[in-house]
């Protein structure tokens, strides 16, 4: 490896990873490659990590890959001297545009040896493609892609196309990349280069280093910040050199569902806990910098400041500026009727444009409900318990009618009082209650985790499955009768991070009004695909049309069942050969605040099924099978 790392070296590593499903082997291949990079060309490490996770920058910067099939087909044809019709025909046979590009390149004769692709050149070209917009942008993108493909050798074309599509499909999950990164930093001796370590000492350091890297990254999810800190001070200096920072959104803490108040009391027996209204709105993480800048981020780190200019105005009035110079606030924003003093349905929020909202055009008012304080005046509070964080929240913010309030709460361990509070929350147009540990280490804020220290009790849970699911639309069926001109039913799936695939979970045709079906048709029609995506794991299920994995819906069901047809969570429950499907699924709403990879995952589906089995068998213990090397939740 020279100053410029050949892209072929990274592709070789991808090929090794693609050849195994064992998590430890995947980690070994990647960590060995990263060790070479750290030793020889450390300044390229950030770009390599981004190429491994198929991103170009932190999520909050909003630069995304995911180029449409039509552009890729044009570029493949242009660079390989083939017509779009020929490329489409091959695509129909193979089902993978990456393989089409690779096969086309291997049969193409060239007069001159192309200039070597480097990691830097590929990264820069991908970033240029992702940020190109405006007049003639499609032609410019095709031109850049054509030039990249013309320089490809071996399997490079396959991975260039897959990167542009947004999926490498080699089974490389981000959590594995973090483990490999920590392993590489520890093993190269960045933290202690003068001492030779025993195998036992090295294993311990790798485990401790991995946990530290995961923890720091959950608080400040930016490789632009984490990797320079690792290279500068090693594992030991990471916490000191890389801290939770206003302006960089951390991944939110999430709650586990419960089916009854008694289940909550069993979980929190002997502990201090609090109940809060669960507001039916959009999660909003609000950052206030010392220069007075306010930024608003969604639960998946999208910058929503342009969507909510009114929220910026309302927050400015709520801050006690004489004692508050910086903070990170966790909150829920709801649609609000200031005349009737009530919360409006979530759908009213979804009508807003995502960007460039002008204050003069706003017809639906919003209200902010703050419920947690994660950072205050140069100090991270996530290692303080909720009782302390709530106290600081009350001290530093003014409650303003119709604009900003703290989440309504009740500290009680009595079933009757909690039941009354739950009923009141539902009457107040809320979804139910959030129940949280109040004191001690179990009441710390846990970024990116779906924790048992936060439980949710929603009105829909009490007699049913226990939770709604957030599912991705991956296919559609043509309507019949009065639904002839729209889609009448849909194939839904879940995203499996470990395999980078979408697994089918159900067909749904219930819960839609005629107006909603028409709206879905207008939104989904442009997302129709020529061919099923190679990373759609759907077995023999075949809808009338395949749909690009962009749209997330919230769905309720009567219960879950093992299925020989659907592939969701296959191998995690029962005899390990069947997937899980929903019985009597019903559409609730679109979740435009969630990306397709932020929805319900296989482990959550399997856990819901096992809990259902345990309930039905009156306490018998079902066991959830875990994949090799897999931790709970994201980590």
Does residue 401 contact residue 263 with C-beta atoms inside 8 Å? no
Instruction: Find, among 412, 455, 425, 420, the residue nearest to 611 by Cα.
Output: 455
Backbone φ, ψ for residue 157 (5° rounding): -60, -40
Joined tokens for residue 47 = 């770009």
Which residues are within 8 A (CB) of 112 and not within 5 positions of it... i.e. 6 or more apart? none
- Rounded Cα distance, 97 and 418, in Å: 55
Does residue 7 contact residue 122 with C-beta atoms inside 8 Å? yes
Q: Which alpha helices (DSSP H) does 19-80 contain, by range?
A: 23-40, 45-53, 69-80
- Rounded Cα distance, 337 and 308, in Å: 16
| DSSP β-ladder status, 294-297 and 450-458 | unpaired
Counting every residue written for the chain, the total comes to 635
- Rounded Cα distance, 62 and 184, in Å: 29
- Rounded Cα distance, 251 and 59, in Å: 10
- For the CA atoms of 561, 563, 565, 568, the dihedral, rounded to the nearest 10 degrees, stands at 70
- Rounded Cα distance, 146 and 149, in Å: 5
Among 158, 214, 259, 278, the active-site one is 278
Does residue 312 contact residue 297 with C-beta atoms inside 8 Å? no
- Rounded Cα distance, 584 and 334, in Å: 29
- Rounded Cα distance, 367 and 349, in Å: 11
Q: Is 325 a catalytic residue?
A: no
- Rounded Cα distance, 285 and 295, in Å: 8
Residues that are catalytic: 278
């Amino acid at each position: 490896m020279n100053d410029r790392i050949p892209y072929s070296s990274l592709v070789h590593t991808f090929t090794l990873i693609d050849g195994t499903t064992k998590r430890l082997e995947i980690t070994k291949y990647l960590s060995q490659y990263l060790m070479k990079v750290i030793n020889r060309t450390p300044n390229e490490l950030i770009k390599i990590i981004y190429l491994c996770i198929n991103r170009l920058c932190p999520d909050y910067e909003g630069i995304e890959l995911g180029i449409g099939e039509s552009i890729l087909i044009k570029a493949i044809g242009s660079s390989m001297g083939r017509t779009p019709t020929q490329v489409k025909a091959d695509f129909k046979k193979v089902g993978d545009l990456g393989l089409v590009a690779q096969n086309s390149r291997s049969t193409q004769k060239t007069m001159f040896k192309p200039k070597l692709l480097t990691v830097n050149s590929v990264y820069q070209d991908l970033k240029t493609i992702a940020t190109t917009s405006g007049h003639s942008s499609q032609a410019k993108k095709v031109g850049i892609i054509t030039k990249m493909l013309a320089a490809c050798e071996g399997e490079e074309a396959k991975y260039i196309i897959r990167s542009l599509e947004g999926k490498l499909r080699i089974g490389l999950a981000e959590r594995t990349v973090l483990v490999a990164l920590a392993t590489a930093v520890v093993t190269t001796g960045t933290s202690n280069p003068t001492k030779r370590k025993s195998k036992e000492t090295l294993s311990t350091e790798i485990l401790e280093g991995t946990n530290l890297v995961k923890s720091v990254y959950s608080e400040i999810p930016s490789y632009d910040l984490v990797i320079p800190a690792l290279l500068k001070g090693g594992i030991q200096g990471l916490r000191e050199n890389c801290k939770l920072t206003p302006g960089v959104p951390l991944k939110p803490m999430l709650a586990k569902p419960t089916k009854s108040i008694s289940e909550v009391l069993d979980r929190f027996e002997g502990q201090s806990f609090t109940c809060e209204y669960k507001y039916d709105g959009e999660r909003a993480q609000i950052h206030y910098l010392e220069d007075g800048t306010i930024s608003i981020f969604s639960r998946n780190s999208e910058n929503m400041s342009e969507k909510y200019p009114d929220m910026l105005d309302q927050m400015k009035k709520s801050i006690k500026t004489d004692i508050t110079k910086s903070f990170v606030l966790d909150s829920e924003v709801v649609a609000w009727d200031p005349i009737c003093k009530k919360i409006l349905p979530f759908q009213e929020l979804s009508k807003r444009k995502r960007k460039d909202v002008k204050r003069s055009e706003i017809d639906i008012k919003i209200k902010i409900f703050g419920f947690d304080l994660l950072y205050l005046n140069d100090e991270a509070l996530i290692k303080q318990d909720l009782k302390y964080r709530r106290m600081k929240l009350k001290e530093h913010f003014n409650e303003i009618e119709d604009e900003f309030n703290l989440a309504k709460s009740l500290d009680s361990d009595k079933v009757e009082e909690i039941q009354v509070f739950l009923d009141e929350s539902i009457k107040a147009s809320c979804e139910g209650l959030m129940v949280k540990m109040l004191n001690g280490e179990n009441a710390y804020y846990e970024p990116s985790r779906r924790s048992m220290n936060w439980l949710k009790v929603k009105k829909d849970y009490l007699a049913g499955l226990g939770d709604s699911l957030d599912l991705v639309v991956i296919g559609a069926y043509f309507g019949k009768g009065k639904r002839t001109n729209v889609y009448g039913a849909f194939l839904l799936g879940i995203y499996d991070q470990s395999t980078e695939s979408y697994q089918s979970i159900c067909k749904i045709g219930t819960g839609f009004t005629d107006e909603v079906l028409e709206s879905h048709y207008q939104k989904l029609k442009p997302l129709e695909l020529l061919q099923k995506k190679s990373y759609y794991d759907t077995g023999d299920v075949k809808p009338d049309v395949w749909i690009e994995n962009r749209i997330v819906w919230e769905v309720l069901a009567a219960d879950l069942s093992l299925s020989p047809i659907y592939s969701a969570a296959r191998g995690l429950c029962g005899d390990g050969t069947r997937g899980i499907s929903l019985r009597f699924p019903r559409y609730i709403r679109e979740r435009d605040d969630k990306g397709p990879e932020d929805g319900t995952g296989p482990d959550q589906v399997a856990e819901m099924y096992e809990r259902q089995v345990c309930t039905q068998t009156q306490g018998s213990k079902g066991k959830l099978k875990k994949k090799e090397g897999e931790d709970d939740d994201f980590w």
